[in-house]
Amino acid sequence: MSYPLLDTIHSPADLRRIPRGQLKNVADEVRDCVLQNVSRTGGHLSSNLGTVELTVALHYVFNTPDDRLVWDVGHQTYPHKILTGRRDRMPTLRQLGGLSGFPQRAESEYDTFGTAHSSTSISAALGMALASRQKGEGRHAVAIIGDGAMTAGMAFEALNNAGVENCKLLVVLNDNDMSISPPVGALNRYLAQLMSGQFYAAAKNVGKNVLKVAPPLFELARRLEQQAKGMVVPATLFEKFGFNYVGPIDGHDLESLIPTLENIKQLEGPQFLHVVTKKGHGYKLAEADPVAYHGPGKFDPAVGLVHPATQPKQTFTQVFGQWLCDMAEKDKRLVGITPAMREGSGMVEFHRRFPDRYYDVGIAEQHAVTFAAGLACEGLKPVVAIYSTFLQRAYDQLIHDVAIQKLPVVFALDRAGLVGADGATHAGNYDIAYLRTVPNVSVACPADERECRQLLTTAYEQDHPVAVRYPRGAGVGVQPLPGLDPLPFGKGEVRREGARVAILAFGSLLYPALEAAERLGVTVVNMRWVKPLDTELLMQVAASHDALVTVEEGAIMGGAGSAVGEALQAAGIVKPLLQLGLPDTFIEHGDPVKLLAMQGLDAKGIEASVRTRFADLLAPAAPSLKSVA
Ligand SMILES: Cc1ncc(C[n+]2csc(CCOP(=O)(O)OP(=O)(O)O)c2C)c(N)n1
Ligand SMILES: CC(=O)[C@@H](O)[C@H](O)COP(=O)(O)O
Ligand SMILES: [Mg+2]
């Protein structure tokens, strides 16, 4: 793809040489470049389309990379990547060895802070601004945060800290009136008030008016401050926090954005700029349906997203969504909670059918968990649907508010294990390790869709907290049974009888383990539960085999294999144990099937590891067709 202006821009320094009058054309080219690339790779689209002008303006006005831009979540950094010398690598976005979908310090000096989990930007930028102050460097730090990300407690903790510091910190609130799904809560209502009516219309011209007069800088700054404050409300929430609030201004109008940013840059103390953008801006289909285009797969930009001709395999998320509705139908006490992930967690239908029992609490995982605890105290049956990676945020709440009080909260832990294109930040690799150490908490690992439904019911029937962890995407295609029958609590099953070596599989890697076992001639046990561990079954298997292998899609350290090792130790059984799982390293983005294979967690890899470790116990491998020929 060739673009007349972008072809001349290899860094923000090049951008800053472009005459201001041509910046709109630059923005148009960036937007097209984003659309063309994402349509070929998949990725976060509507947020990126909405931040094109803001990105151009920030790099134009601030002296990046010396001035620091910190992008919250970072799912809107494709324009930033394009303008900071990575345009030629955009076709590799989110693929193995390619560009990350988020900012990464290792990827570019312009990526000043790695993000992906939301609401960290103000804290990080404040740290940078104060470091600059302490070192006498005088650089600016800018946090760019969305209205969705702004709802998290952490953002307010940072505002609370920043508001009393005199430093060169600018918070840009990118308000597109959307999270992934429509935003929720009182903050959203408040931002809508700030944008309403004449205030917004008048504020749109703040930058232009200031420019026309062109007074000296000090006066310019003073007037900007006065104008902005006068045009909006006397004291916004952000002013109460100690920030100088400017806005709201039109985040697609470079004529407003650039002079406003230039002037804010001159002001002392913490600054807060409220910009208004449209998610999906400039691509009609995304503007009309920003939810569908939040993170689409590949598509033809001329046609847009299309439904596949054949029904794809049911995902674990869909299995959960169906179970949730069915259980809610049966039990009026059930309430469903999501921290801003209605679509991703499969709760759209539940929301539609049970609006009074559906709670989207915003991006607020900690609150979600304690809120569930409160509901449980009053006899309701909360189901918290949460990605494994995001539950990390609420670990203390899980222990302090749920587990110690032994409250019956079900955690439907989606995206357990490797997630693929989102990479290390989103991988759900640690939940087994961090959950199984907490007293009163049980952890189930369904191997397929049918078990997922059954184990959710088992979890729901307990009088203590239970997490059911399942991976992103589809399973092997084992249809769930229609009823709501549980599986026995804490019990596994032998799936294949073999000799000398037994593979104990936890979760969906049961299937590659079975495939490997066919070639190895070994036993396979579907353990189903990490906690309680089925020690009775474990002891039987240990007694009848010479060696054990554990397989899990989770961190080896502290994982299910460790639980097996501990149980054997406790029983005084000394038995060779091979633990297969994810190593003590962060695994980057890429095709999840390939990533699993690279970790030796496909059938071939499992077979190879078992053969290598227990060669003396196994019959030699049958020669492959290739080596026979
Ligand atoms: C801690 C955490 N929870 C949930 C998410 C999932 N998530 C990613 S983007 C997003 C919405 C963010 O909304 P906003 O900040 O307004 O940005 P927009 O998508 O509107 O551009 C959510 C919920 C996340 N990345 N981090
Ligand atoms: C940026 C972010 O956190 C989400 O948009 C995430 O990428 C969604 O992941 P899924 O596609 O697995 O729902
Ligand atoms: Mg938003």
Render pLDDT for 402-417 as a digit per residue (tens, 0 to 9).
999 999 999 999 999 9
Which residues contact residue 288 at a Cβ distance below 8 angstroms, ignoring those fewer than 6 apart?
Answer: 280
pLDDT of residue 621: 79
Q: Give the ligand with the smallest distance to the CA of 149.
A: 1
- Looking at the predicted structure, is the pLDDT value of residue 451 above 60? yes
pLDDT of residue 234: 54
Using pLDDT thresholds of 50, 70 and 90, give the confidence band for residue 211: very low
Cis peptide before 65 (omega within 30 of 0): yes
365 is catalytic: yes
Which residues contact residue 554 at a Cβ distance below 8 angstroms, ignoring those fewer than 6 apart?
Answer: 416, 417, 428, 429, 430, 431, 432, 433, 506, 507, 560, 581, 582
Using pLDDT thresholds of 50, 70 and 90, give the confidence band for residue 203: low
Write down the catalytic residue from 365, 552, 553, 607: 365
Rounded distance from Cα 185 to ligand 1 centre (Å): 15
CATH class of the domain whose range is 493-626: alpha beta
Q: Which residues are annotated as a binding site for Mg(2+)?
A: 147, 176
The two structure tokens encoding residue 134: 């302490």
Report, as an integer, the average pLDDT of 439-461: 98
Which of 38, 47, 100, 118 to mutate for ligand 1's pocket (most ligand atoms within 8 Å of CB)? 118
Residues 49-67 pLDDT 10s: 999 999 999 999 999 999 9
- Looking at the predicted structure, is the pLDDT value of residue 222 above 80? no
- Looking at the predicted structure, is the pLDDT value of residue 229 above 80? no
Ligand 1 near 146 CB (within 6 A): yes
Ligand 2 near 422 CB (within 6 A): yes
| Three state DSSP letters for 225-260 | HHHHHHHCCCCCHHHHCCCEEEEEEECCCHHHHHHH
Ligand 1 near 44 CB (within 6 A): no
pLDDT of residue 209: 43
Residues 248-300 pLDDT 10s: 999 999 999 999 999 999 998 999 999 999 999 999 999 999 999 999 999 99
Residues 67-88 pLDDT 10s: 999 999 999 999 999 999 999 9
DSSP one-letter string for 260-304: HHHHHHHS-S-EEEEEE--TTTT-HHHHH-TTTTSS--S-BTTTB
Q: For domain 316-469, say whether CATH 3.50.50.60 is its number.
A: no
Residues 587-627 pLDDT 10s: 999 999 999 999 999 999 999 999 999 999 998 877 655 54
Are 587 and 418 contacting, i.e. CB atoms less than 8 angstroms apart?
yes
- Looking at the predicted structure, is the pLDDT value of residue 233 above 90? no
393 is catalytic: yes
Whether ipTM > 0.85 holds is yes
Q: How far is CA 567 from the centre of its chain?
A: 34
Scan for tokens 């990575």, then name that residue. Answer: 86
* Mean pLDDT value across the chain: 94
Between the alpha carbon of residue 341 and those of residues 278, 386, 431, the distances in Å are 20, 8, 18
- Looking at the predicted structure, is the pLDDT value of residue 205 above 70? no
Ligand 2 near 75 CB (within 6 A): yes
Q: How far apart are CA 443 and CA 428, in angstroms?
A: 14
Q: How far apart are CA 256 and CA 258, in angstroms?
A: 6
Are 55 and 31 contacting, i.e. CB atoms less than 8 angstroms apart?
no
Are 347 and 375 contacting, i.e. CB atoms less than 8 angstroms apart?
no
Q: How far is CA 263 from the centre of its chain?
A: 35
Q: Give the ligand with the smallest distance to the CA of 180.
A: 1
94 is catalytic: no
Tell which wins on pLDDT, 235 or 539: 539
DSSP 209: H
Are 6 and 82 contacting, i.e. CB atoms less than 8 angstroms apart?
yes
DSSP 384: E
- Looking at the predicted structure, is the pLDDT value of residue 218 above 70? no
pLDDT of residue 571: 98
Write down the catalytic residue from 279, 381, 415, 450: 279
Give the closest residue (by CA) to ligand 1 atom 11.
Answer: 179
Q: How far is CA 371 from the centre of its chain?
A: 21
Give the closest residue (by CA) to ligand 2 atom 6.
Answer: 422
Rounded distance from Cα 295 to ligand 2 centre (Å): 7
Q: How far apart are CA 547 and CA 610, in angstroms?
A: 10
Residues 252-265 pLDDT 10s: 999 999 999 999 99
Report, as an integer, the average pLDDT of 518-523: 98
Ligand 1 near 367 CB (within 6 A): no
pTM, full prediction: 0.94
Amino acid (one-letter) located at 7: D
Q: Return the CATH architecture of domain 6-288.
A: 3-Layer(aba) Sandwich (3.40)
Residues 91-113 pLDDT 10s: 999 999 999 999 999 999 999 99
Cα–Cα nearest to 57, from 215, 223, 214, 277:
277
Give the closest residue (by CA) to ligand 1 atom 22.
Answer: 180
Using pLDDT thresholds of 50, 70 and 90, give the confidence band for residue 227: low
* Residue ranges, CATH 3.40.50.920, the chain: 493-626
Report, as an integer, the average pLDDT of 550-575: 98
Scan for tokens 């954005």, then name that residue. Answer: 257
Q: How far apart are CA 101 and CA 295, in angstroms?
A: 11
Q: How far apart are CA 423 and CA 589, in angstroms?
A: 4
With residue 581 as reference, give the H or E element that holds it: strand 577-582
* Residue ranges, CATH 3.40.50.970, the chain: 6-288, 316-469
Q: How far apart are CA 54 and CA 52, in angstroms?
A: 5
